Chain A
Amino acid sequence: MGLYFLCLALFCVGLYGVLRKRNLVKIIIGLAIIEYAMNLFFVLLGYRFHGRAPIDAQDQAILNMVDPLPQALVLTSIVIGLGVTALLISIAIRIYEKYGTFDITKIRKLRG
């Protein structure tokens, strides 16, 4: 039970980074921490007591495995996170070329 709360605490750390940091790169790192926390939470949901890794081998019985479904889904989620991070970093580099700064309080051409 404590492990789940630790995962949600990590989620809140990442959320603090997205909300309060002024540098663009730190916001992207905060988003990455949010995604790690979510993936960790989802994998931990599949744990069974005294379970072993869910790999089918010739000499071991098919019993006592942890739940393999969250592991497959988290693989998809990691790929999605990779795509978003790559896109955000490219946009951040281009913003630096246009505005000359990474500070979000100075990147405010759109308002109203």
Chain B
Amino acid sequence: MIKDPRTGMTLIVKTITRLTVGLILLFGIYIILHGHISPGGGFAGGVIVALSFVHMMLAFGKDIAASKISTNLASNLESIGALMFLAVALLGFLGGTFFLNVLAKGTPFTLFSSGTIIFSNISIGIKVGVGLFAIFLALVILEKSKQEDNS
């Protein structure tokens, strides 16, 4: 089905996309995880992760992208991301105040040096990434149902 010439774009686009989609996803995850020592963080990394899925949808057509992350799974993951963020914030109550940074802060400039900031970044990254992709899926579903009505 991937090599089907009727859906999606031409063969050249499909080949290059197959090579680069994984790298884009990996780059997005890198930006999310290193949010406390270099520019980026949850939102910017989340947008890059969403773009890797949108890239797959543009090149191969909606069905293949929807088989990787379906609408239901996107909606559930988004809510789980938000609840994870709230849980990280509530963890601060263990130390006394809301949103307090309670985990150990190691040596600066390493990966695990910021306490709870890394978990906030990960949950925001999940929520934004999946949320943007769900918006694209919703807009494409509207277009597709209109085309099926016309044809």
Known: A55-B38, A58-B109, A79-B43. A86 touches B146 (CB 8 A): no
Q: Is the CB of B139 within 8 A of A93?
A: yes
A89 to B41, CA, bound (A): 27
Q: Is the CB of A97 within 8 A of B146?
A: yes
Q: Please, what's the 1-or-0 string for A80-92, where 1 marks a CB less than 8 Å from any CB in chain B? A: 0000001001100
A93 to B135, CA, bound (A): 13
Q: Is the CB of A55 within 8 A of B43?
A: no
Interface SS, A side: helix
A75 to B109, CA, bound (A): 22
Q: Is the CB of B109 within 8 A of A89?
A: no
Instruction: Classify chain A: how many residues form its interface, as a range.
Output: 10 to 19
How many A-B pairs have beta carbons closer than 8 Å: the answer is: 25
Give the residue of B38, B109, B142 whose beta carbon is less than 8 angstroms from that of A93: B142
Q: Which residues of B contact A94 (CB under 8 A)?
A: 142
A58 to B107, CA, bound (A): 11
Known: A58-B109, A86-B135. A75 touches B43 (CB 8 A): yes
Q: Is the CB of B139 within 8 A of A89?
A: yes
49-68 of chain A: CB within 8 A of chain B: 55-58
Q: Which residues of A contact B139 (CB under 8 A)?
A: 89-90, 93
> How far does the Cβ of B89 sit from chain A's closest Cβ, in whole Å?
16
A86 to B109, CA, bound (A): 36
Q: Is the CB of A90 within 8 A of B43?
A: no
Q: Please, what's the 1-or-0 string for B95-122, where 1 marks a CB less than 8 Å from any CB in chain A? A: 0000000000000110000000000000
Q: Which residues of A contact B44 (CB under 8 A)?
A: 75
65-105 of chain B: CB within 8 A of chain A: none
Please report B residues at the A interface, Cβ cutoff 8 Å: 37-39, 41, 43-44, 108-109, 128, 135, 138-139, 142, 146
